[in-house]
Amino acid sequence: MEAGAVPVRRDAALCRLVRQSGAARDWRGHVARLGAAGNGAGTLSVTIGPDVMLSTSSNKFSWADAGTLIPLDSPLYRQAVALRVGQPVRVSGTFLEDMRTRTCPVEKSLTRAGSALRPEFLFRFTAIAPAD
C-alpha cells in the first residue's frame, strides 16, 4: 500500500511546485538519452536525481506528446545535438498536465513500481546548456 502512495504524494508536491512557479529554470542534471523521432524531431532525457528523469515524448503520435519533441530547425535542437550522454547540463522547461485525467505532472512509467522507483516525467524543454 505504501508503495502505491509514494507516486501520489510525490506528484501532488510536484504539481503544487509546477502551478506556483509555472516552470523549471536552470535545473541541473545529466544527459541520459538523445535521439530522434520518425519525423527527425529530437528526443531528450535528462536525469535530475537518482532514478528521476525529465523526458520528451518518443514520437509525435503519442497522446502525451503535446509539443515536447524538439523541432529539427529550432535553436533548442542545435543546443541539444551538441551534447553527449552523461554530460552535466542545466535545463529549463515545463512539466505537462494530463488534460484527460487532470493529473500533474504526467509520469510515463507503465507500472506502479516504475512510477514509484524510477519516475520519468514528460517535459517540454525550453533551454538546455552544458553545466558550468
Q: What is the CATH number of the domain that holds 77?
A: 2.40.50
What percentage of the chain carries pLDDT values higher than 90? 41
Of the pLDDT bands very low, low, confident and very high (cuts 50, 70, 90), residue 99 is low
Does this model's pTM top 0.75? My answer is yes
Strand pairing class (52-55; 88-95)? unpaired
- Note the pLDDT of residue 50: 87
User: Counting beta carbons within 10 angstroms of the beta carbon of residue 33, is it exposed (0 to 12), middle (13 to 18) or buried (19 or more)?
Assistant: middle
**17 vs 27: which has the higher pLDDT:** 27
Per the structure, the count of domains in the chain is: 1
**Domain span at 88:** 2-130
Place of cell 529554470: 25
Q: What is the mean pLDDT of residues 22-44?
A: 90
